[in-house]
Amino acid sequence: MSEYQYYDFKAIDRALTKTEMASLRSISTRAVITSTSFTNHYEWGDLKADPLKLLAAYFDAFVYVANWGRREFYLRLPQELVDSTQLKAMLPGKTAHMRSSGKFVIVAFESEVELDDDWDDGTGWMGSLISLRADLLRGDFRCLYLGWLSCVENGELSGDALEPPVPAGLRELSAPLDSLIEFLGINEDLIEVAAPASEPLRAGPSQGACGLDSRPARNRQGWPARRRAIGTR
């Protein structure tokens, strides 16, 4: 097999209509299409559509995996339910970024991972990552912070870039967060360096689900240490 690409789209907030399903069927005759999903893989050729346009029009999550190491995970969030300015500030790079799309914002996590002997057909990633969307909607920004760390690791940020608030719960990572770390290939040394500045996970009327560290970014310590951790991998 010279090439393998896997596409997995998921609708969460609403089911697809019969008209929408027919439109998707016109794109691919062999895709598995349900009222909440569109999945297909290619060993030759490619998806005959722009996946990000499909995401913006129909779906709430998208996973892409290619056998040359490319991985992408996108989440579509209602603009009215999130602070897009805050999200964009936490995702300033290329590996993790955010953009507006009509009534929605698209949060993107991308990676180029080193290949090993374990075959990854992509089929397990959506199930292991999808609940991160619900986390974001209830104010748990740990996945965004992991995205920021991925940008740091890939050298996408300048030395004077401000570190975003450190979310609570970095020492209490859930299975979906562990999956995101694996999906992006994040060096776990970076997380170990950041974890001491993270408060225990708790919910409160003023902190939401994750309790962001409210200290001004210029007064927090840790960004230089993140850079040193990268250098000592």
Q: Which of 101, 7, 11 is CA-nearest to residue 56?
A: 101
Average pLDDT over residues 35-46: 94
Cα 139 from Cα 135, distance rounded (Å): 6
Q: Cβ-count burial of 110 within 10 angstroms (0-12 exposed, 13-18 middle, 19+ buried)? A: buried
**pLDDT at residue 61, as a whole number:** 98
Q: Is 117 helix (H, G, I), strand (E, B) or coil?
A: coil
Q: Which of 54, 11, 53, 4 is nearest to 34 (CA)?
A: 11
pLDDT for the residue 104:
97
The candidate with the shortest Cα–Cα distance to 71, out of 133, 124, 142, 24, is 124
**Residue 140, token pair as written in the block:** 């748990």
d(CA 219, CA 160): 13
Contact 129, 62 (CB under 8 A): no
Residues 178-202: pLDDT tens digits? 999 999 999 999 999 999 999 998 7
Between 4-8, 30-34, 86-90, 94-98, the lowest mean confidence (pLDDT) is in: 86-90
| pTM summary value | 0.87
Q: How far apart, in whole angstroms, are the C-alpha atoms of residue 163 and residue 157?
A: 10
User: Which region among 92-101, 108-117, 188-197 has the lowest average model confidence (pLDDT)?
Assistant: 108-117
Taking 80 as the threshold, does the pLDDT of residue 226 lie above it? no
Lowest mean pLDDT among 22-31, 52-61, 211-220: 211-220
Sign of the CA dihedral with 141 first, then 145, 150, and 152 last: positive
Poorest-pLDDT segment among 59-63, 78-82, 162-166, 202-206: 202-206
Q: Which of 44, 38, 85 is nearest to 64 (CA)?
A: 38
